Structure 1
Amino acid sequence: MDLYELQLSNPKLFPQFSVKDTLVLYYTCPQRDEIIQLYSKHIQILFTLSGKRIQKHGDQIWEHSTGKGELVKRCAFLQELPADYSGWDTLVFYVKDKYLRFIFEEFRSYLSLTDLPEPGKEIIETFEIDDQIRSCYASFLPYFGNNKPIPESVLENKFKELLFNIFSNPKNKHILAYILKIVDRYQTPIWEVMEGNYWYDLKMQDFANLSNRSLSTFKRDFKKHYQTTPGKWLTNRRLQRAKAFLETTDKTIGQVVYECGFENISHFSRVFKKKFNISPSAFQKQGPNK
């Protein structure tokens, strides 16, 4: 599920306004299912105002709660309700690369760009919130539900101030290092996108979005790296993951299907039997190394 498009198309459920190329939302998360699969094709800067949510990506787990800001990279992930669920009020800024570059160039001479760490591989980077940052993001809240016309320049200056305070905080050098990658037009390798997201049930266009490429460029770069088509590679990679789960865990067939990115059980059973000459249920019953 494309989180950005879902929220953009439901302004009543997700109150919002735009600042230049940035979508700003302030809402109480309506999630009711225990776990949902989502993906974001744009970078998010996120502040939890109350409550909590859990996000999972592979073996990594993050808990969104008050006290820290979070930069969520382009990625697919699972979002889970915590055991002590009591709502989740969040303020989110979706920022596109082009606008980030524009703002960064305005800030460049005021930022310390020496001794930056290597950009992290995690899909979510937490960052420090000080009084200035807190004051900046809190200043957006009164504008939600306010029908009074507001010059876009007022909101843009607020957003620029927020970003500058995040980037210039000495404890947020890891965030600055990641932003610098974007500014320098670093393109995420195809293998990194695929190996980090293949087990999610995403369309080809979704993978292209995560890699920040057009669909045609994504397919061309994929073929150049893997020497096969994305569809064939995904099926094979997901089958290998599913086979390992059936050999080494007690997961049900339904759980394996969900956690390996297959459309449904019948589709999974068909391609599994074609690949391994045995049905998933029979393979699971025979156990490992038999």
Structure 2
Amino acid sequence: MIHQNKPFPQILYSCYVSRSREGEQFVKEHVFSYQLAGSLVMNDGEKEYTIKEGDFRFCKRNNLVKFVKYPPENGEYKSISVYLDQDTLRNFSMEYGYKSEKRVAGDAIINLASDPLYKGYLDSLKPYDQIKQSGNENLLSLKLKEAILILLHTRPELKDVLFDFSEPDKIDLESFMLQNYHFNVELKRFAYLTGRSLATFKRDFDKIFHTTPSRWLQQRRLQEAHYLIKEKGKAPSDVYLDLGFEDLSHFSFAFKKTYGVAPSRI
């Protein structure tokens, strides 16, 4: 997640003392990570991945992924992640001559078998505060190149993933939305992943669903919530986050407005 206007760091150290969920569930850039302590459960809508302490993982860009961070008992959740942004990868491609030869499908998350190269590299990032200080830009650039070279050495097939700079193709919008409505992302993310501009996405959406994306998303999420609470006996507090609502109070208000009764009274 790094551009010229870098809205996020290229090396990120995460530390939590309680269970945590992220906000927007869109993986914008490739991420190479190491689980230092605790565990992480990720779900791309089709498959669930469990990452435990000591595991290495590679997350592909342009995917919708939900995740929950679990700290160990009486401890802290800790992970370190390296974000391989498109600018860095394009520059690497030009410098070293790597190019993608085919578009690769497959899992959004790749569990990487333990390798001394991974461990040694990610251990070298532990003084991350020093690496990110002003004046260390060249050092940071070298650490990113090192990550790419290590991944290419241990998993040569990642070449076709890392250096695929194409944008998502235009796909069937109806089936995509029916599969992914429960992800909490901005409309522009849905538009991008279906290969459309935001304006075209809204126009195509209206032709298919005869309403706006925002109204449809709320209604579809509420329908699923009603089903899960009434038919499956789920508690409102267990379903609202999984269905893309920001908080419980907003979910309860919208639910009551639609069904005339609070979700806790179903």
**TM-score, L = length of structure 2:** 0.71
Of the candidates 41, 59, 65, which is equivalent to residue 55 of structure 1? Answer: 41
Structure 2 residue identity aligned to 1:152: E
> For residues 163 and 19 of structure 1, do their structure 2 counterparts lie closer, same or farther at Cα, with a shift above 3 Å needed?
farther
Instruction: Give yes or no for the alignment of 1:167 onto 2:147.
Output: no
- Counterpart CA distance in 1 for 2:118 and 2:68 is 26
Of the candidates 178, 183, 198, which is equivalent to residue 181 of structure 2? Answer: 198
SS in 1 for 2:229: helix
Structure 2 residue identity aligned to 1:52: G
> For residues 41 and 137 of structure 1, do their structure 2 counterparts lie closer, same or farther at Cα, with a shift above 3 Å needed?
same
SS in 1 for 2:10: strand
Extract unaligned runs of 5+ from structure 1: 9-17, 285-290
Extract unaligned runs of 5+ from structure 2: none
| RMSD of equivalent CA atoms | 4.0
- Calculate percent identity across the aligned residue pairs: 20
Is residue 46–residue 71 contact of structure 1 (8 Å, CA) maintained in 2? yes
> For residues 41 and 63 of structure 1, do their structure 2 counterparts lie closer, same or farther at Cα, with a shift above 3 Å needed?
closer
Instruction: Give yes or no for the alignment of 1:68 onto 2:67.
Output: no
Structure 2 residue identity aligned to 1:97: Q
* Count of matched residue pairs: 256
Structure 2 residue identity aligned to 1:63: I
Is residue 34–residue 54 contact of structure 2 (8 Å, CA) maintained in 1? yes
Instruction: Give yes or no for the alignment of 1:79 onto 2:88.
Output: no
Instruction: Give yes or no for the alignment of 1:94 onto 2:89.
Output: no
SS in 1 for 2:33: strand
Structure 1 residue identity aligned to 2:38: K
Is residue 40–residue 210 contact of structure 1 (8 Å, CA) maintained in 2? no
> For residues 155 and 211 of structure 1, do their structure 2 counterparts lie closer, same or farther at Cα, with a shift above 3 Å needed?
farther
Is residue 26–residue 144 contact of structure 1 (8 Å, CA) maintained in 2? no
Greater share of helix residues, 1 or 2?
Answer: 1
Equivalent residue for 1:42? 28
> For residues 147 and 97 of structure 1, do their structure 2 counterparts lie closer, same or farther at Cα, with a shift above 3 Å needed?
closer
Is residue 56–residue 113 contact of structure 2 (8 Å, CA) maintained in 1? yes
Of the candidates 168, 178, 182, which is equivalent to residue 161 of structure 2? Answer: 178
Is residue 228–residue 234 contact of structure 2 (8 Å, CA) maintained in 1? yes
Is residue 30–residue 162 contact of structure 2 (8 Å, CA) maintained in 1? no
Question: Cα offset for 1:166?
Answer: 0.3
> For residues 140 and 237 of structure 1, do their structure 2 counterparts lie closer, same or farther at Cα, with a shift above 3 Å needed?
same
Question: Cα offset for 1:51?
Answer: 0.6
SS in 2 for 1:145: helix
Deviations 1:216-259 (A, max 9, x none): 45435645665642123213321332243134311123433343
**TM-score, L = length of structure 1:** 0.66
Of the candidates 113, 121, 125, which is equivalent to residue 140 of structure 1? Answer: 125
Is residue 51–residue 85 contact of structure 1 (8 Å, CA) maintained in 2? no
